[in-house]
Amino acid sequence: MTQRLVLASNNAGKLKEFGEMLAPIGFEVHAQGEFNVLEAEEPHPTFIENALAKARHAARITGLPSLADDSGVCALALGGAPGVYSARYAGEPKSDSRNNRKLVEDLAAHADKSAYYYCVLVFVRHADDPQPVIAEGRWNGEIIAAPRGQGGFGYDPHFLLPALGKTAAELSAEEKNRLSHRGQALRALVEKLR
């Protein structure tokens, strides 16, 4: 028997990826847009608080269990920035190219270009669930000035994986899902939900 689950996102890629991973353990994943759920505010300074706010928001409106993620890139030399502000690092409207340019410029004066992608997933059984299920993933790399690769999105063309000699944008979708912060968090969540 399958149970419906609302994903606190309308991202088609996430919907597909999460749906494939959660189907074997009995969940049918639906985007929040199917239920006319608008995006929740993300006013918090931490990934976990924002993910929890999004999950509770979707669960409250739909009455269904909900799953939300919050993720971003954190540069060590910048004290973890852009962090929770990754999507809007260069301001509104959101722009991957402007965000990448700002990150490269902000790191230019620093010798340390190390960074990591971080993802937290929060699953709530209902809006007021006192024990949300939380899983996280971290993917280490470094920021390079010149973009490489055509795949991925966001900071991927500038996110180098030194051990592979490739950026995240140069990986196949399968490689990225296997290695990435989101893939790690999703596999950890599946284990907890089993």
- Choose, from 69, 70, 96, 128, the residue flagged as catalytic: 70
CB 9 within 8 A of CB 69: yes
Amino acid residing at 23: A
> How far, in Å, are 1, 55, 72, 82, 97 from residue 51 at the CA level?
27, 6, 12, 17, 25
> How far, in Å, are 29, 101, 106, 134, 138 from residue 178 at the CA level?
20, 27, 30, 19, 12
Length of the chain: 194
How far is 180 from 169, CA to CA, in rounded Å? 12
- 70 noted as active-site residue: yes
How far is 57 from 87, CA to CA, in rounded Å? 20
Q: Where are the alpha helices (DSSP H) in the chain?
A: 12-22, 47-62, 96-107, 173-179, 181-193
Catalytic residues: 70
